[in-house]
């Protein structure tokens, strides 16, 4: 997933310099384990090191609409404070709203106050059908991106994760 997001960002801005922070273990079939504590540590690290590494924007292609994670939208002090700190330093935090077809909520952490919840466009005028569009959807961006995978094969990627990487890369380019 990370390689795909980096390549999606590079389609917008091929000269982009990226500080890649992998915060989740991945299962043998490539799925994220969804470790909220690892996410907290990553947000905290970025907030504390943004100046040192000249970070201009943050892109988080992660989302969860589980009941436990949605509670964190207003209670996860580490993530809330990290987003606030980044915003105070003019570093926007773009976060995928998720791809669960939800019309009533966006996933955590895009639901955190100050995060920019990004949904995916399927084409120039329509949302991608899976994009979560509840309160906290702040913007949309192209979610279908053609890239070359790590093994050299071409592929198309779609969804709010890619839209988030595209949004952050577009912001930095401007």
pLDDT tens, residue by residue, 32-68: 666 788 888 888 999 999 999 999 999 999 899 999 9
Inform me whether the pLDDT recorded for 19 exceeds 70: yes
Looking at residues 77-91, what average pLDDT do you find?
Answer: 94
Inform me whether the pLDDT recorded for 83 exceeds 70: yes
Give the lowest-confidence range in 8-17, 23-32, 38-47, 149-158. 23-32
Looking at residues 144-161, what average pLDDT do you find?
Answer: 90
Looking at residues 3-24, what average pLDDT do you find?
Answer: 86
pLDDT of residue 40: 86
Inform me whether the pLDDT recorded for 147 exceeds 70: yes
Inform me whether the pLDDT recorded for 155 exceeds 70: yes
Cα–Cα separations (whole angstroms), residue 38 to 77, 111, 123, 138: 14, 18, 34, 25
CB 128 within 8 A of CB 106: no
| Contacts of range 73-76, beta carbons closer than 8 Å, 24 or more positions apart | 73/108, 73/109, 73/111, 73/112, 73/136, 74/113, 76/36, 76/40, 76/108, 76/109, 76/112
The pTM score is: 0.91
């Amino acid at each position: 997933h990370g390689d795909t997001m980096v390549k999606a960002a590079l389609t917008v801005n091929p000269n982009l310099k990226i500080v890649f922070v992998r915060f989740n273990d991945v299962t043998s079939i490539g799925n994220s384990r969804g470790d909220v504590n690892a996410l907290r540590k990553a947000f905290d690290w970025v907030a504390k090191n943004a100046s040192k590494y000249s970070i201009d924007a943050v892109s988080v292609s992660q989302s969860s609409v589980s009941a436990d994670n949605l509670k964190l939208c207003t209670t996860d002090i580490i993530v809330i404070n990290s987003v606030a700190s980044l915003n105070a330093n003019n570093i926007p935090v773009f976060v995928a709203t998720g791809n669960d077809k939800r019309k009533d909520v966006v996933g955590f952490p895009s639901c955190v106050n100050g995060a920019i919840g990004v949904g995916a466009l399927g084409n120039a005028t329509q949302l991608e059908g899976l994009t979560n569009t509840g309160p906290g959807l702040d913007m949309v961006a192209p979610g279908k991106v053609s890239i070359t995978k790590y093994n050299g094969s071409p592929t198309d990627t779609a969804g709010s994760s890619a839209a988030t990487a595209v949004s952050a890369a577009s912001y930095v380019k401007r």
